Structure 1
Amino acid sequence: MRLFAIRDYRHLFSAQIIALFGTGLTTVALGLLAYDLAGPRAGTVLGTALTVKMVMYVVIAPLVAAYVDRFPRRTLLVLLDVVRAAVVLALPFVTEIWHIYVLIGLLQAASAAFTPTFQAVIPDIVADQSDYTRALSASQVASTMESLLSPVLAAVALAFMSFNWLFLGTSVGFFISALLVLSTRIPDARPSAHTRAWDKAASGVRTFLRTPRLRGVMALNLVVAAAGSIVVVNTVNYVRDELSGSQSDVAWMLAASGGGTLLAALVLPRVLDRISARSVMVTGAGVLVGGTIAAVALTAAGLTTWTGTAIVWTMIGVGMALVITPTGNVLRASVEPRAIPEAFAAQFSLSHLAWLITYPIAGWVGTNAGFALAWSVLAALAGAGAVGALLLWPRHDGRRAVTGPATPDRTAPRMDRAALSKAA
């Protein structure tokens, strides 16, 4: 495959896979740690920890975009991997719930700086548009393979050891990721057109607000967060308390969602060659809305079963892949090359702002008022996001900007014809 013939991309992709699998093990272990410390109120603990994570993502990512062109990106990525490895190594030793919040804050501050920097590096290494599309798909496949296989690996490991050992696996993964990043030749960021830090941090958000297709992406972020929060926050309590499952069963149910995401991601490269990103992403939003409604029906009607839950979790996984996979292409089609880091950082913050809204609903409302109410609220948010995307992202938005009819979208940055056609 031509894409993997690019040495630097190959090393970065390997680093991503290893770090993702480490992160996946942490996700499983963190839920079990919360259950170990808080029992039935684990959802509240996990929801709060993930809310701390989202606050870090929303605040830190734009600041990183503002200053990233002042530092060597390879050095920055390596240092952030090392910080994450050290923090995760401390998690098995926590004895109080507040310890989780502090360490998660430190861990996610590093991740909030790492992820948008890493995403913005890829277009500088993979210049060809077709290869870049496949790089985005490969990255999504890696993420979905992690979401499928990490819970499986965790389920097998938990049959022989305590969940605390999963944190050790994560730490090792981050260290290996740092070594692989160190072996790559990553070009430094292009100088930004903005000189003041606030202008840099805000420019990506302003681009989203004035570009129709990106306003649609913001609405779709809410759909993904509303459905995804059900899986991420509530799986541990739902499986342990409602289904009377074990620690390994929690991991297997998370794997069901990852399996749905993987199936969708495997077929998307060919689909995106023939169907517009908008159509694929809106379809994904519909699947996610259906998944949240099905989740509400399961718990409200008292139809709690292993099969039904697995089907709904898989459905949510499919929908998330359909929305998330094409997003990078839409971003690249909407900004000039030197603004790519700012656009990715803005998407990183705006998407996690949506999770900042939905995580507390899943965790706090789910624990105190029950899954039926929490999931009904999340289903309503998912539906609102899907309708918003349809209204905010006109069907022919990308083509109007290219062909230049009498009333073109003059607010969208001027881009090349091929990129805009991909986004349309």
Structure 2
Amino acid sequence: MELFRDRRYRHLFSAQVIALVGTGLTTVGLALLASELAGERAGEVLGTALAIKMIAYVGIAPVVGAYATRLPRRALLVTLDLLRAAVVVSLPFVTAVWQIYLLIFLLNACSAGFTPVFQATIPDIFEDERRYTQALSLSRLAYDLENLLSPLLAALLLVVMSFSLLFVLNAAAFLLSALLVVSVSLPSPYPQPAGGGVWARLIQGMSRYLHTPRLRGLLALNMAVAAAGAMQIVNTVVYVRHALGMGETHVAIAFAAAGGGSMVVALTLPKILERLDQRPVMLAGGLLMSASLLAGLMAPGFALLLLLWFVLGAGASMVMTPTGRLLKQSCQAEERPTLFAAQFSLSHACWLVAYPLAGWLGSALGMMNAFAALATLALAATLLAARLWPAEKTQARAWKNES
């Protein structure tokens, strides 16, 4: 592919894939660790742990985004990879729930710094929209590899090893990611205009995001993605192991189903976006996720659950794949770090609401009530997005032309 002729992108994409596949192993391992420590309360524990993850994201990402223009990108990304490796390798030694909470916060504090800086680097490598859209599709594909290949790999590894070793493999993945990042020179951040400190830029990024109609619609769609994704991530282990009475391998396969749907969409969407506007595609993704959750009220068996999670993953990818393009169209080049950080923080604020909600509803009121409540939330968020984001003739206007 044309994109991989650029050595910088080739190494960065490889680093992203390796780190995400390792992170996917930790997602499966964390679910099983919660099940081991808390039994049928695993969904509640996992929901709380993932809410703590979101607190780290929401609180730290905007600060890093505001400082990003002052820090050398390569050194920052490598340092955060090394710190993530040190934290994740500690997870096999956890013996109490509070230790899970502490390590998850530390791990994701590092990820909250890494991800927005990484995302803001790609449009500086590919300035033209066609190649950047292709890069976004591949980036979405990388996340889908986490959701699809990691659970399948985990299912195979769990046959021959304890789930605690999944954390060790994730640490090795972070180390390899750091080696790939350090092997290339990255473009320097765009210089910031004189005047205004770090906190002024932080507030400016949030303000510009929330004053842009299409991005307000995107925020509502982020809530739909979070509602659907939280149900799938938090309650899969509970539903498969306790409602269906199946084992660890089936849990991993169920996680993979959502990644499969997302991957299919990520591969086909760039061509679709050449013919269709991104707004109806993203709104259709919200409706697909809502329909998948509503179908969960049929108390699905394992085969139907795989189909529902596949559809849910496809809908999520229809929303998330074009997100970077939407952000790029809504700001000037020098504003990207703060706007990408604002998207990272605000989208994960949605997950901060959805994760504990999914865990608490599933634990206290049962799976069917959890399906119903989160389906309602996803549908309401999608309808709100359609209202907040008016149809546009062109998507290429910068924020300053909309304000």
Normalised-by-shorter TM-score class = over 0.9
Q: Distance in 2 between matches of 1:121 and 1:396?
A: 28
* Structure-2 residue corresponding to 1:48: 48
Does 2:399 match 1:412? yes
CA contact (8 A) 1:71 1:188 kept: no
Report deviation, 1:204: 1.7
Residue segments in structure 2 that go unaligned for 5+ positions in a row: none
Report deviation, 1:266: 1.2
Q: Distance in 2 between matches of 1:397 and 1:106?
A: 44
Q: Distance in 2 between matches of 1:347 and 1:205?
A: 8
Tell me which of 311, 316, 330 is aligned to 1:315: 311
CA contact (8 A) 1:120 1:340 kept: yes
Report deviation, 1:374: 2.1
Does 2:333 match 1:346? no
Deviations 1:60-114 (A, max 9, x none): 0000011111110100000000000010000000111100000000000000000
SS state at 1:57 partner: helix
Deviations 1:200-220 (A, max 9, x none): 112121112211111110110
Q: Which amino acid aligns with 1:51?
A: A
* Structure-1 residue corresponding to 2:324: 328
Q: Distance in 1 between matches of 2:149 and 2:298?
A: 26
* Structure-2 residue corresponding to 1:215: 216
Pairing 1:90-109 to 2, within 5 Å after superposition: 90-109=90-109
More displaced, 155-164 or 120-129? Answer: 120-129
Q: Distance in 1 between matches of 2:393 and 2:337?
A: 23
More displaced, 286-295 or 99-108? Answer: 286-295
Pairing 1:53-132 to 2, within 5 Å after superposition: 53-132=53-132
Q: Distance in 1 between matches of 2:230 and 2:272?
A: 27
CA contact (8 A) 1:40 1:237 kept: yes
Pairing 1:13-412 to 2, within 5 Å after superposition: 13-193=13-193, 195-295=196-296, 297-299=297-299, 304-396=300-392, 398=394, 412=399
Report deviation, 1:243: 0.9
SS state at 1:146 partner: helix
CA contact (8 A) 2:28 2:252 kept: yes
Report deviation, 1:190: 1.8
- After superposition, the CA RMSD in angstroms is 1.4
Q: Sequence identity, in percent?
A: 50
Q: Distance in 1 between matches of 2:12 and 2:338?
A: 20
Aligned length: 401
Q: Distance in 2 between matches of 1:115 and 1:47?
A: 22
Q: Which amino acid aligns with 2:45?
A: V
Q: Which amino acid aligns with 2:114?
A: F
Q: Which amino acid aligns with 1:36?
A: E
The normalised TM-score by structure 2 is: 0.97
CA contact (8 A) 1:259 1:317 kept: yes
CA contact (8 A) 1:335 1:414 kept: no
SS state at 2:399 partner: coil
Moved over 6 A (4+): none
CA contact (8 A) 2:261 2:312 kept: yes
More displaced, 120-129 or 101-110? Answer: 120-129
Q: Which amino acid aligns with 1:109?
A: A
SS state at 1:294 partner: helix
CA contact (8 A) 1:213 1:397 kept: no
Report deviation, 1:414: 4.1
* Structure-2 residue corresponding to 1:2: 2
Report deviation, 1:263: 1.1
Report deviation, 1:35: 0.3
SS state at 1:264 partner: helix
Q: Distance in 2 between matches of 1:40 and 1:378?
A: 20
CA contact (8 A) 1:289 1:382 kept: yes
Report deviation, 1:173: 0.2
SS state at 2:325 partner: helix
Q: Which amino acid aligns with 2:48?
A: T
More displaced, 70-79 or 185-194? Answer: 185-194
Q: Distance in 2 between matches of 1:308 and 1:129?
A: 39
